[in-house]
Structure 1
Amino acid sequence: MSSSRRSLSFAMEESLERPLESPHDLLTSGALNNKSRTAVVCLHQHSSFLSSITKSTLGDCLKWTIEELLRASHAFARSLAATVVRPGMWITVFVHNVAEYHVVFRTSLELNCIFATLNLKTSMHGKEAKHVIELLNLSVLVAPNVDCGKKIENAAPEIAENFLLKLFSQGNPEGLNS
């Protein structure tokens, strides 16, 4: 083996020739051993959010166990896989660190898609939004609301028309009203 082709594992005297687990497999195997532990608590989201899928209990705020999060992300993954989403596509989210973010992140892992999260405020600056959209080969756009989604589309309409799927969450995150 030439020195230019040596891998880090070779340099560290540890071979990585065994099959490596995907991030989805690692997260899922860890989750299956801890299904009843708390995964997500969102104080500003109502506990009824996706409760028909997660089977979560109602309370003051959204509080999901690992099993409930896995149930929600798997349902979303099945929905996306039934449409046009295929492995290797970019799923880009412009949502805060809320339940939707975690669902989309795990969904992208399950579908073997590339996950990119972008600051919501990017959508409010046309030139910056256009630059980001041009850099990424977006297939799926997830935005918090239609207004934000429209701003992203208007920043680069010639590229936005090629998005395969546009999804909008509900409502505006606090302090980011357009």
Structure 2
Amino acid sequence: MNEFPASNGLKVVLTNAGQTAYTAVDGESESTSYLGFAEFLAFREYFRAEEDERLGRWRWPENPDYVVYPSALYKHPADSDEVNVVNTSNGASHRVKRADSPRLFGYFSEAGSAYFDARPEPKPWATAEPGEIWDLTVDGVENRYAAILSHGKNGPYVRMFPTDNVAATTVGTQATAITAGQRIWPEES
């Protein structure tokens, strides 16, 4: 397609010089603007990403023909460990689970694995509430911590304070230094 009439009256024309011309027709007069090919491609990617975001899907950067739809868009109740991967070039799709091998369904599984890699499973301590008690492994050392509401420049947040070792490090619930943890109190029901 070398020419496209947009619904707003603009006509998009691809030229031989590697530029894209936008021709605006207003009654009898016509004006043309040009955009270089690199800029045209950047805008194409931008608008595609904008559409992907609007539709709630994720596009695999290694092969943009594959888009991933989180299960929350098509399944109730939502299962965050399952996605639907669609090859937009031919419409074929597969449901992929986080636990699946990255090669089970070829590119479909690779795209699904890339999606899950970009969204690691939430760690249980990441949603700790003030007043809870946790056993956490921080920098390879296990200690007991209390979740306390703190206030920082970006507002309130939960911070973990050691309860039985005052020399232990205080950490935020999102700290990468935490490698394992289990809530002790209140007990899970």
Establish whether TM, by shorter chain, passes 0.5: no
Higher strand share: 2
TM-score by length of 1: 0.23
TM-score normalised by the chain length of structure 2: 0.23
Structure index of larger Rg: 2
Give the helix-richer structure, 1 or 2: 1
* Higher RCO (CA < 8 A, seq sep 6+): 1
